[in-house]
Amino acid sequence: MALIEIENIEKHYGKNGTNVKAVSGISTEITFGEFIAVLGHSGSGKSTLLTMIGGLNHPTRGNIRVDDLDIYALNPEQRADFRKEYIGFVFQAFYLIPYLTVLENVLIPFAISDLSAAKRNSRAMQILEKVGMADKADRLPDELSGGEQERVAIARALVNEPPIILADEPTGNLDSVTSAGIMQLFADLHREGQTIIMVTHNQENLKYASRTISMKDGRIDQLN
């Protein structure tokens, strides 16, 4: 059974008479446990595709179903709950909150959870252990390297145990050695059954993914 079904989606941007088709007619299915790399040049529509899968960007046409939920047929509250239940986002720019410690940053998704404080903390520490950041839980983001900050951002995305991780250029700000470490972390998560969709323009990253979707001018170029 497909976890994500993408059916002929299009996204048009533009106003004042200009109309840019960022994504034009993409259909694919993604199975539970796949590690998809979405490869493409800047402007090929890969980030738009990612945000549409994440319930953040309404397609102009077409449907996206996740776990059989037509996510853009949901009402806004349901779609917010969909993101909370299903999606973990990792961004190139980390977006850690500078005045919160590593642990507090990872605890943020729990702000809308029913778990007890003790359970939240133990869950957050467990995830920090997994990404190799447990010993720096009380540091501030400033005191961390770029790679370490990205690990914290990944921990934050994972802490709610979302079935899908969406990563937009997660190594875009990192040097090649640090990038390899982060990619290895994604590969480990994938081996444990995590579904990951990662946008990248770095060919080096493709070897960690199970499948590559290559995009060009808003369309799928080829399937590997």
Partner 1 sequence: MAKYCTQCGTQIEESGKFCVECGTPVEQSAAVGQSVLSGKRERVLGSNKSKSNVSLFIAVIIVPLALGILIFFENLPALSNPIIDEQPLVAESVTYPPVPRQMKTIETRVRENKIILPLDVVLQKKFVAFEFNNNGRVIPLLAYVSGEGKVITAISMCEPCNSTRFHIKGEQLVCNSCGTTWELNSLDGLSGACQGYPPDAIPSIVVGNEIQIEIAPVINWKPRV
3-state secondary structure of 11: strand
* Among residues 68, 99, 117, 118, the one that binds partner 1 under rule CB under 8 A: 68
- Please choose, out of 26-34, 45-53, 94-102, 170-178, the segment that lies near partner 1 by the rule CB under 8 A: 26-34
Contact string 148-187 vs partner 1 (x = CB under 8 A)? -------------x-x------------------------
Between 103 and 215, CB nearer to partner 1: 215
* Among residues 10, 72, 74, 125, the one that binds partner 1 under rule CB under 8 A: 74
Return the bridge partners of 20, or none. Answer: 13
Return the bridge partners of 198, or none. Answer: 37, 167
Return the bridge partners of 56, or none. Answer: none
* Among residues 108, 210, 214, 219, the one that binds partner 1 under rule CB under 8 A: 210
Task: Report CA-CA distances (Å) from 35 to 56, 87, 159.
Answer: 21, 14, 19
Rounded distance between C-alpha atoms, residue 196 and residue 128, angstroms: 19
Any contact of residue 113 with partner 1 (CB under 8 A)?
no
Q: What are phi and psi of 56, to 5 degrees?
A: -105, -10
Between 68 and 142, CB nearer to partner 1: 68
Q: What are phi and psi of 27, to 5 degrees?
A: -135, 135
Any contact of residue 193 with partner 1 (CB under 8 A)?
yes
By rule CB under 8 A, what count of residues binds partner 1?
35
* Among residues 22, 209, 215, 220, the one that binds partner 1 under rule CB under 8 A: 209
Between 2 and 134, CB nearer to partner 1: 2
Terminal alpha carbon distance of the chain = 20
Structure tokens at 202: 């770095």
* Among residues 21, 24, 65, 69, the one that binds partner 1 under rule CB under 8 A: 69
Provide the H-helix boundaries in 54-139.
76-86, 102-107, 117-130
Find the shortest distance in angstroms from Cβ 183 to partner 1: 16
β 35-39/211-216 pair status: parallel
Rounded distance between C-alpha atoms, residue 187 and residue 185, angstroms: 5
Name residues contacting partner 1, limited to 28-67 (CB under 8 A).
28-29, 31-35, 67
Instruction: Note the residues at the interface with partner 1 (CB under 8 A).
Output: 1-3, 5, 27-29, 31-35, 67-69, 74-75, 77-78, 80-82, 85-86, 161, 163, 190-191, 193, 209-212, 223-224
